[in-house]
Amino acid sequence: MTRFRLWMMLAALSAACCLAGCGGSPKSGPTQGPSFRPLDTTSAVFWDRQITEIGALLHRLADEFNAAHPGLPIKVEYAGDYPDVFRKVSASIQAGVLPAMTVSYENMTAEYIPTGAALDLDLLIKDPKTGLTQAELDDYFPAALQPNRYADFGGKMYSFPLSKSILMLYYNRRVLAKAGLTAPPATWDEFLDQCRKIKAATGKPAHAISVDCSTFDAMVFSRGGDVIRGHETLFDSPQALAVLDFYATLTREGLAYRITPGTYQDNEALGKDEIAFTFRTSASRTDIMLLMQNDKTRWGMARIPQLDPAHPATVLYGPNVTIFNTTEEQKAAAWAFVKWFTSPEITARWAVGTGYLPVRKSALDSPEMKKLFDEWECNRAAFDCLDFARGEPNITGWQQVRDLVVRTLSEVLAGTREPAEAGRLLKQGADEVLARAGRG
């Protein structure tokens, strides 16, 4: 009997191990499935990526919100850069425990939706007590609001614009002056021409390249093209090939060099008067101002060059916020914070303090914004792009396509792939990725 019991015990132990191993994930399949457990029951945790002065401002605003609002306090936690935030959220979805909200790009949210983690914000927006009125909704810039509706998921709003930014051209006036130039380029041909003149005058590359998919997308947009139609990519279009050719020319002629990924060596080089140009988000304005030691005569920012300046286009990016499907208390606190943060007054303060753009039209009329515009003509440059800036694709699988774009650009810059072949292979690879993502 004892022996029998011992063997039964061992068998039960083995079965328990196997069953535990065979267990499914704790999350739900459909979009609005069972709630996830909150990361912290005493506060609504907000996973963010901001550091430096911008991060400090966000913490101050959260404190201000907490002081004025009852209910769960908002706790801002740094969760790394965007890829880190994405990985952290993905792992947390599997664990079944999530913060109240997180910063996210559309392509990141598109990956959270099928797991049931992202909350359908239409439910909160339409709430008669705590939602937004039609007048308030109309006050948001359509370009900021629209990319948060996901065509692949019934056109529902699964994220909300927190603050927007636009790809800008930052230029160093001192380096331009060395080549006898007084104004930044308006077209891509002028850009190449100015790079050549600067190289001839200084003997150094004029531009430092931070390889990035959004920059590539903006360049395609600015040439009148697009990167996707439906679920088919357009990386072999004349506009996309022109961008790849542009990068190949920059490298071949020694007009530009590539910076180490994940660094800000381009901003630093601009601040040291080593290069003339770099492309970065408008949110880099405050960082570059610090590098330029607040000397506005040394630098400037302008919209990116265009194929046809009369019909400009660029990319609108900047973080949204995704609220997670946790407890009602957490959702309410998160939504209250998002609503407050995107109110005309706060979005204007955030824009002035960071270089991001406000998400509300009425914010442009605020005294803070008017003062900012009066201080320096370049402060207006990003806002002037709002009329023609547009978002990037928000479909499932775009996260992986972005990596493919970066890889292709790196190959072209290294000279290991010709632009035409690179474009063809990129389209083929990206379409395969999207087809795979579509299969689910």
Positions in the binding site for other proteins (CB under 8 A) = 2-3, 6, 10, 13, 17-18, 20-25, 27, 29, 83, 86-87, 90-91, 93-94, 111, 114-115, 211, 257-258, 260-262, 265, 269, 397, 399-400, 403, 406-407, 409-411, 414-416, 437, 439-440
Q: Under 8 Å CB-to-CB from 310, ≥6 apart: which residues?
A: none
**Closest distance of CB 106 from other proteins, Å:** 16
Cβ atoms of 314 and 221 closer than 8 Å: yes
Tokens of 311: 């019909």
**Nearer Cβ to other proteins (329/431):** 431
Cβ atoms of 109 and 115 closer than 8 Å: no
**Nearer Cβ to other proteins (184/429):** 429
The Cα–Cα gap between 171 and 283 comes to 15
**Closest distance of CB 277 from other proteins, Å:** 16
CB atoms inside a 10 Å sphere around CB 1 = 5
**Nearer Cβ to other proteins (307/409):** 409
**Nearer Cβ to other proteins (2/293):** 2
Handedness of CA 372, 374, 377, 381 (dihedral sign): positive
**Nearer Cβ to other proteins (22/310):** 22
- Give Dmax over CA atoms of the chain in angstroms: 98
**Nearer Cβ to other proteins (23/367):** 23
**Closest distance of CB 384 from other proteins, Å:** 32
- Packing angle of the helix pair 238-252, 398-414 (nearest 10 deg): 40
Burial class (CB in 10 A: 0-12, 13-18, 19+), 79: buried
**Closest distance of CB 133 from other proteins, Å:** 37
On the CB side of 47, CA atoms within 13 Å amount to: 26
Q: Under 8 Å CB-to-CB from 9, ≥6 apart: which residues?
A: none
**Closest distance of CB 406 from other proteins, Å:** 5
**Closest distance of CB 416 from other proteins, Å:** 5
